[in-house]
Amino acid sequence: MPVAPLALAAGALLAGAIIGWWPIATWTDRDIRRDRSERMSLRALRGWSAGATAIVFALLAWRFEWHPVLPALLVLAAAGVALSIVDLTEQRLPNAMVFPTLGAVAALLVVASAITGEWLALAWAAAGSAGMFLFYFTLAFISPKAMGMGDVKFALPLGLALGWFGWLMWIGGLIGAFFVGGVVAIIALALRRVTLRGSIPFGPSMLGGAMVALVLLGG
């Protein structure tokens, strides 16, 4: 494997750890509503945030290298880690985190299209965002207990980023979310962390499915 992608991935790993430890963890902690005595310690939160952000940053940098779309994906990944931690803690995805993420990813995708000249990709991105929103909205309408409106809104930035690459990436991210969610549910049941009637936060699975699709199908 060429040295350059490995060096970039290593740099992204370090950057992700730093970003996850301070700004992302601070942002996450601020948006958790639980009393301080009922939540994980700030140090533990920083550790999880730094570790997860470092891993996804390294994988995305290794896969996309210096492609202009990389900044948008890194922002999505970092914000997704923050949202996932909140979802795991309180089973909600705050609007105050989702919509700024959507705006930042959209702006960076416009920059990526301007640099690459791939303006049609923006149309795919918009379609992907709307399509994924409608898909999750339909699921939430059919079964409100299985899918929350936070998941529906989180689909907007995820569908936007996946749609920029076309329908194959979009489908991969969508299927990946339910695959990851299924694996998590089986493990949780096996460890007796949840019952058959219990619910598991789906935001982390949505992010995981998107990251798996980007790493396996991107580049």
Amino acid identity of 146? A
Please report, for the chain, how many H helices and E strands are present, in that order: 9, 0
How far apart are alpha carbons 136 and 148 in whole angstroms? 9
117-164 pLDDT, tens digit each: 999 999 999 999 999 999 999 999 998 888 999 999 999 999 999 999
Q: Give the model's pLDDT for residue 208.
A: 98
The residues spanned by each domain of the chain are 3-217
Helix, strand, coil distribution of the chain in percent, nearest 5 = 80, 0, 20
- CB-based contact 132:170 (threshold 8 Å): yes
* DSSP-assigned letter for residue 200: -
% residues pLDDT > 70 (the chain)? 93
**Closest listed residue to residue 78, CA positions, set 164, 175, 157:** 157
Place of tokens 């930035």: 157
- CB-based contact 39:65 (threshold 8 Å): no
**Closest listed residue to residue 215, CA positions, set 67, 65, 64, 106:** 64
Cβ within 8 Å of residue 7, ≥6 positions away: none
| pTM exceeds 0.85 for this model | yes
Q: Which two tokens stand for residue 50?
A: 């730094």
Q: Give the model's pLDDT for residue 115.
A: 97
Cβ within 8 Å of residue 103, ≥6 positions away: none
Is 111's pLDDT higher than 60? yes
How far apart are alpha carbons 8 and 130 in whole angstroms? 33
Cβ within 8 Å of residue 107, ≥6 positions away: none
pLDDT-derived band at 33 (thresholds 50, 70, 90) equals: confident
